[in-house]
């Protein structure tokens, strides 16, 4: 085993143990080497936004300030602009798209890939493992329940849940 490999492995163990002791968590190696805020800054996201290192970011993606982007998220701006506002929570496993290949695939490549911009407003909460389809606009203050499939616009301050996501009224909640 080379000396360089030994040093890398030793450094990895040190950083992993420090993370476990300090925060009681285990994260991928990328998150041991850089902070979530450094990753967001590198991607050009807004001030005080955090983004796990294992987030897949493609194409034109803009994110506002004070937004949290959890682990294992896909932000796919390859089909048009994907914009996410300030003070949003994008939970673990969320997938947000600006394109789909349905017509392209089913036409054996004759038809083009369908592309449309997607917009997430300010103060939006998107629960774990949601899928936001291309061309959707989610209004300010909206809440998307866990594991929802959003294939239509969501009004500001509304709550939507399900597959496909539908508006719901919750007693005592806006």
Q: How far apart are CA 88 and CA 140, in angstroms?
A: 9
Report the catalytic residues.
99
Q: Which two tokens stand for residue 57?
A: 């970011």
Kindly report, residue by residue over 55-96, the tens digit of the pLDDT: 999 999 999 999 999 999 999 999 999 999 999 999 999 999
Contact 134, 103 (CB under 8 A): no
46 pLDDT higher than 80: yes
- The correct CATH number of 35-167 out of 3.40.50.150, 2.30.30.170, 2.160.10.10, 3.30.530.20 is 2.160.10.10
Kindly report, residue by residue over 14-38, the tens digit of the pLDDT: 999 999 999 998 988 888 999 999 9
Domain ranges (residues) in the chain? 1-33, 35-167
Q: How far apart are CA 161 and CA 167, in angstroms?
A: 7
Q: Which residues contact 47 (CB under 8 A, 6 or more apart)?
A: 65, 66
Confidence of residue 1 (pLDDT cuts 50, 70, 90): low
């Amino acid at each position: 085993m080379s000396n360089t490999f030994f040093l890398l492995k030793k450094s990895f163990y040190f950083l992993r143990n420090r993370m476990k002791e300090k925060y009681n968590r285990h994260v991928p190696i990328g998150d041991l080497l850089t902070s979530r805020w450094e990753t967001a800054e590198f991607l050009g996201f807004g001030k005080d936004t955090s983004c796990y290192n294992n987030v897949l970011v493609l194409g034109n993606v803009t994110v506002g300030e004070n937004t949290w982007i959890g682990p294992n998220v896909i932000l796919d701006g390859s089909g048009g602009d994907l914009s996410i506002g300030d003070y949003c929570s994008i939970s673990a496993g969320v997938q947000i798209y600006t394109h789909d290949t349905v017509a392209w695939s089913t036409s054996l490549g004759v038809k083009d890939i369908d592309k449309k911009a997607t917009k997430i407003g300010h103060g939006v909460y998107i629960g774990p493992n949601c899928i936001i389809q291309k061309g959707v606009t989610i209004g300010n203050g909206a809440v998307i329940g866990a594991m929802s499939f959003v294939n239509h616009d969501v009004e500001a301050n509304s709550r939507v849940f399900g597959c496909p996501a539908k508006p719901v009224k919750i007693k005592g909640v806006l």
